[in-house]
């Protein structure tokens, strides 16, 4: 992102990692042949969740740790125009 931003005349002012656990439980669902928008999906029907509360909490906790290390798979990049 830094290279692309610089090529476009910007600089990366800040990076905020904000993964929330969805990557983990969505991937686990896909392994079980449950697409994201399927009625069995946690995304669609939480009352029929495939995972326990403890499992969901572990997915979130893992992403929180990755966020803190700057290694999560979701991030917001704040750019600012470079000075000439």
**pLDDT over 90 (residue 1):** yes
Residue 31 is assigned to a structural domain of this protein: yes
DSSP letter string, 23-66: HHHHHHHHHTT--TTSTTSTTT-GGG-SS-HHHHHHHHHHHHHH
* pLDDT at 9 exceeding the cut of 80: yes
Does a structural domain hold residue 58?
yes
Domain count for the chain: 1
Q: Supply the range of the domain harboring residue 38.
A: 19-75
Answer whether residue 71 is part of any domain.
Answer: yes
The model's pLDDT over 29-84, given as tens digits with 9 standing for 90+, comes to 999 999 999 999 989 988 777 888 899 999 999 999 999 999 999 999 999 999 87
Domain assignment of residue 14, yes or no: no
pLDDT value for 2: 94
Q: Residue 3: inside a domain, yes or no?
A: no
Q: What is the pLDDT of residue 46?
A: 82
């Amino acid at each position: 992102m830094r290279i692309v931003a610089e090529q476009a005349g910007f600089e990366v002012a800040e990076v905020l990692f904000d993964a929330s656990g969805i990557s983990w439980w969505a991937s686990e669902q896909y392994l079980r042949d449950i697409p994201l928008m399927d009625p069995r999906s946690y995304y669609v029907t939480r009352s029929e969740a495939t995972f326990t509360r403890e499992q969901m909490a572990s997915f979130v906790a893992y992403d929180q740790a990755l966020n803190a290390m700057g290694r999560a798979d979701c991030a917001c990049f704040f750019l600012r125009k470079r000075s000439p």
